[in-house]
Amino acid sequence: MKHELIICILCAWIVAGCSSSGSSTGPDADFEPFIAPSPSSAADTFVAPAGQSLIWADEFDGEGINLDNWSYETEQNGTWSHSWNNEWQRYTDNDTGGPNASINDGVLVIRALKTNGGDGGYTSARLVTKGKHSWRYGTIVARMQLPYGQGIWPAFWMLGVYGEWPANGEIDIMEMIGGEINDNTTHATIHWLDGTQISEGDSYVHDTKLADDWHYYKLTWTENSMTFWFDDVVVFTGDISSPAMSEFHQPFYLLLNLAVGGGWPGPPDVTTEFPQHLYVDWVRVYQ
């Protein structure tokens, strides 16, 4: 009887292993851990902007992702397409928490996982406040610890509520395309329509990897200008007073995502490690 039980267990183990290895949709548990490694324990030293009050925040202190604040954009629900930027990941809906997005010890963790590799062989998440929360003017800031590596493309950004891109405007508070010195570099950019798509922006190169510690990525937005900050450093200031930039005088909603590949960063290579993690301690809006 004992031998028969052992044989049954072995057969079940073999079948389960074959089923797991043949999956093309989920991460391989052998090298894609569900629990992310802990981010830096550095103290939070952020000081609220003078003369402004906190009007909205997500501190990610609950047991799961707050779906009153966020929803997911995926190809399945028709709100995202990998063809937009030739990205290789496929975004998933993780509800209040799943393999690609969850709350861990008061931190939102967005995970890029490798399944089969190549175009379509990665999963990740893209969270938005569209249809739930949007703002015009103020200070929008997040405390984040970024991923790293060739082909890794995290972003903290905003899109206008009205119109189609680029006529609705785009505000990129933070983008990073990983690999070598790019792991140290944050980009801030605005996009709008004036006959054709126009972009303005700049970047800042930090002395260490942005994955090594927490940093503040901030937008100060007034009727006349947008100033983008990395910690206490001004990355870029754009004048938005021109009538041709009317896009930037409407409400915008927030997006947080972690892309893999794409036309700007290029694909991951043999040096790129998976899984990759975008940690978000909190997001706040002041006016």
Q: Which value, in Å, is the radius of gyration of the alpha carbons in the chain?
A: 20
**Catalytic residue list contains 180:** no
User: What is the enclosing helix (H) or strand (E) of 176?
Assistant: none
- Strand ranges inside the chain, DSSP E: 54-58, 71-72, 89-91, 101-104, 107-114, 122-124, 126-128, 138-145, 152-160, 170-175, 185-194, 196-205, 215-221, 225-230, 233-239, 252-260, 276-286
DSSP single-letter state for residue 248: G
Tokens representing residue 126 in the block: 């893209």
Q: How many other CB atoms sit within 10 Å of the CB of residue 43?
A: 7
As a whole number of angstroms, the distance between CA 66 and CA 55 comes to 17
Catalytic entry in 32, 75, 87, 170:
170
Q: How far is CA 161 from CA 32, 39, 79, 217, in A?
A: 36, 33, 14, 22
Catalytic entry in 63, 73, 87, 175:
175
Q: How many CA atoms lie within 13 A of 249 on its CB side?
A: 11
Q: How many other CB atoms sit within 10 Å of the CB of residue 55?
A: 13
**Catalytic residue list contains 170:** yes
Point out the residues that are catalytic: 170, 175
